[in-house]
Amino acid sequence: MLDIRYIRDHAEQIQQTADAKGIGLSIVKLLEVDEHRRALMQEIEQLRHGRNRASEKIGGLMESGNKAEAERLKAEVKWNNETLKRLEGQQAQVETAYIELMRLVPNPVSEDTPPGQSDADNVEIKRVGEKPDFAFAPRDHVAIGEALGLFDIPRGVKMAGARNYVLKGAGFRLHRAVQHLAMDVLEEAGFTPMDVPMLVREDALVGSGYFPLGRDQTYALADDNKYLVGTSEVSLAAYYGDEVIDVGKPVKLAAMSACFRREVGSQGRDVRGLYRVHQFSKVEQVVLCANDPGLSERLLQEITGNAERILQLLELPYRVVSVCIGDMSQKNYKQYDIETWMPSRESYGETHSSSNVHEFQARRANIRYRDADGKLHYCHMLNNTAIATPRILIPLLENHQREDGGVYIPKALRPYMQGQTELKPEG
C-alpha cells in the first residue's frame, strides 16, 4: 500500500504502473473517492463540533431560565444527530470503496526495471555454470524418477487430482535434503530459522500483498475464514504486524514450509511432471530493514546471492534475469528471477525469485521502527525463494543423470542423503 499523498502527487505515474502490471485500477476514480471521503470527514467533524457546543450550552440555559433558547438548541442537536447518522452511513460505504481501491494500487518500480509485458521481456544479467553435453540421449525428470522409483505421479493424481504426486524413497530424501541444505546456508548467513503457520487469516494475506489480486490462486477454508498460503513469506511478513521493531541490524527470517497454490489459469501449461503442482515446499527468506533504498538494494543483492550459493552447491547451471514490469506482481519494486537449466525443456526454467518491496508490505501490515530521533518510519521489506521443491528436482535429476540410468548426487547434498554419492537403478 502507498501513502495517499504520494498517490495524489504521482497519479499519472501510478496509473502507468498499474497498466503495465496488468492491474485494473482507475487512479482517477480512487482520487474522486478520496476527495468525497475527505469532504464527508470534514462535514462530519463540523457537525460533531456544533452538536457538542450546543449540548454544553443547554444545561446553562435551562438553569438561567432561558428555556426557549434551550429548546431551540435541543432541536439543533436532534437535527445534527440525524444528519450525522445519515452521513456516517455514507462515510462507511465510501471508506469501504476507498480501501478496496487502495488495496489495488501497485508499488512503483525501480528505474532499472526493464520495460516489457511478460517473462519473454526479462533481461538476462549473468549466466553461471556450463550446460551438460550428454554423449547419450538424455531423459526427462519423469522418466528418470519413475525408473529410479523416486516418485509416483499416477497415484498422486488418483488420490488428489491433476498436478499432484507422491515422492518416495530416495526421492523423498532428495526433496528433504535440498531444503535442509538451504536452511543451513541461511542460518550460516545469519537468518533465524522458523516454523510458521501455513493456515492464516485474511489480514495476513492482505498485509503481505497477496490479497486481493491473488485470491483466485489461494485455497480457502470458508467455514474457518482462513487460507492456505502459497509461500511462508505471507506468515513471515505478518510476524511483526502492528508492531514497532528494532532494525538497528536488518532482521533476517527464514522458514521451511509446505505451500499450496490453485494454479488457476495454468490449464494445459506444464502438465507433465513436477514443474507446476498444487502442493510443494519452499525455503523462504524475508528481511526487514530501515527505510533506506541503498540498504535494501544491498540486501536484495545479498539474498539473491544466498540463492545462487545454494544452486552452486547443487552444481547446477543457472542464469539471473532482471524481471520486467509486466512480469512483476503488484507489490514488487524490483525483482530478480533465477532460472536453472532444464535439459528436457531445452531452456532455463524459473526456480527462484528475489524481490525488494520497499515499504509496500510494511504499510499494509503496519510494521514500523524508530529512528535515532524517535520518529516512526515504515520498514523496507525483501523476500527470496532460497529453494522450491519438487521443482528443483527437475534440473537436479536431469543435469546430473548418467548414461547407465543413475544420477550423480552433488557433494553438498551427500551429508543429507546418508552419504550416498549417486542414485542407482535397481538390478
Whether 391 is catalytic = yes
Catalytic residue among 51, 139, 173, 391: 391
Residue type, 189: A
As a 3-state breakdown, the chain gives helix, strand, coil percent values, each rounded to 5, of 45, 20, 35
Is there a catalytic annotation at residue 353? yes
Can you tell me the distance from the alpha carbon of 116 to that of 27, in angstroms, rounded to the nearest whole number? 22
Q: Is residue 276 annotated as part of the catalytic site, yes or no?
A: yes
- Of 37, 261, 363, 364, the catalytic one is 261
Q: Residue 351's closest CA among 274, 278, 295, 292?
A: 274
From the list 233, 350, 359, 398, the catalytic residue is: 350
Listed residue (236, 259, 207) closest to 383, CA to CA:
236
* Cβ(387)–Cβ(310) below 8 Å: yes
Q: How far is CA 120 from the centre of its chain?
A: 22
Distance between CA atoms of residues 241 and 381, nearest Å: 12
Catalytic residue among 235, 353, 354, 355: 353
Contact between residue 356 and residue 300 where contact means Cβ atoms under 8 Å apart: yes
Catalytic residue, from 103, 276, 345, 402: name it: 276
Phi and psi at residue 220, to the nearest 5°: -110, 140
Are the C-beta atoms of residues 287 and 303 closer than 8 Å to each other?
A: yes
Nearest-angstrom CA–CA distance, 224 and 190: 36
Instruction: Copy the grid coordinates of residue 146.
Output: 519413475
Catalytic residue numbers read 261, 276, 350, 353, 391
